[in-house]
Structure 1
Amino acid sequence: MKKTQNTNSDYKAEFPMLLMKHSKIMIVYADKSDFEVWSSFKNGDETAFNYIYRKHAAELYNYGMQVCQQNEWVLDCLQAMFVDVRRKRMRLGDVHSIKGYLFTVFHRELFKLIRKKRKDEFVSLENSTDQFLIEASHETKLIDQELVGERKKELEEALNQLTKRERQAILLLYQEELSYREIADLMAFKEVKTARSLVYKAMAKLKEIVNVNGCLK
């Protein structure tokens, strides 16, 4: 299946009013901790909710497109998740990493939606090979800025020879910059060391697949 590349511009096309640069909302909360922003949101501050939406919606959308590459499904799930979080705000617990929390909730809800959508198609989500396909862009912290051309393509192909779970872990760590704790929560691991072990295993496998001296950090 052909890989779909998605950028923030794709998301802006769907939600043109969400990511206005230098907006007052972004400035007001720029220096506040996630705990402070989340507390304001829980207490009914609509500005805090708008800040959370604007800051994280695009990256959640891009992650969702890595999962299923179905634009309508991702957008529907994203909107439904934010509506649900806003509706239940008074009952939510404290959060110290808003991004980690939203990624975990969105991941869970998106997989529920995918299973529902694909139920009648007899498509196994676990056996799907087109999830978390990685493009070796400069935004991916795994890649040195100087890496170009054939070497970048070589590394990209090597990354996509990993298992789905290995690609997912690398994507979450190096591109989304989640912590090992957040990755463990999102991937439903009981222990943080399982997430760390998965990443180490994936990196070791990469070195076996292709000689990338000077490419991997």
Structure 2
Amino acid sequence: MSTDSHRVFGRRPAVRDVLEHPLLGLDPRRTAIAVGYLAVLGGLFAVSYAGTAITIDGAALETLTPRFDTVSTVLIALATATIAIVPFLYAAWNGGPVLSFAMPLVPVAFGTLATGQYVLGLDAAIALTVGGAASTLALFATGVRRTGSLRPWRTADLDGTHLLVVTMLAVVAAVSVGRFVAGSPPRNLEWYAPFAALWLVPVAVVGVYWQAAMRTAIATRTERPDSEP
């Protein structure tokens, strides 16, 4: 086998190749900015966690300097924004349904690492709800940019892969949130209630896209007999 063949079959995807994937974002530079933001969030979490986990002479490191209080305050503010706001901003700015879905789950994952156990609690339910809505918004934003129309589902170049991925993400999120609602006390449901309205976004967007996809498929099958000799 030639050297070129080894390079082809043995080559690992470059970072830029990953950043250019349309499911992560339309512009690799903007995708890199989003990934960098999440990396900064991870760094702040690591510093904050170290302040509570590391002890010197029996005292937690965070009690020895007030700087850890500042780090914790900034981390809480960024984590809250990352769960509730940032995914929608990124979806409208750069598309990327998968990254838009994953963004609000990152702070929840950090919390799971800190506690050492996973619980489908209020934070996770809100993050999944926001992720499902943000991913469908990203699908819509991507379609608008590609077609130049506010009704991108009416065009012939409908991306079936993106639609299928977004649908799967929305279903996974809905099932998980359904489990949370079924087993949560009324107090948690009261806190979650304002976010429940976000489910209108995936229901509307995904529903319209699938309706258009089915119409296109039916029209294509109908036209085939007429085109045959």
- TM-score scaled to structure 1, two decimals? 0.30
- TM-score scaled to structure 2, two decimals? 0.29
Considering only CA atoms, is the larger Rg found in Structure 1 or Structure 2? 2
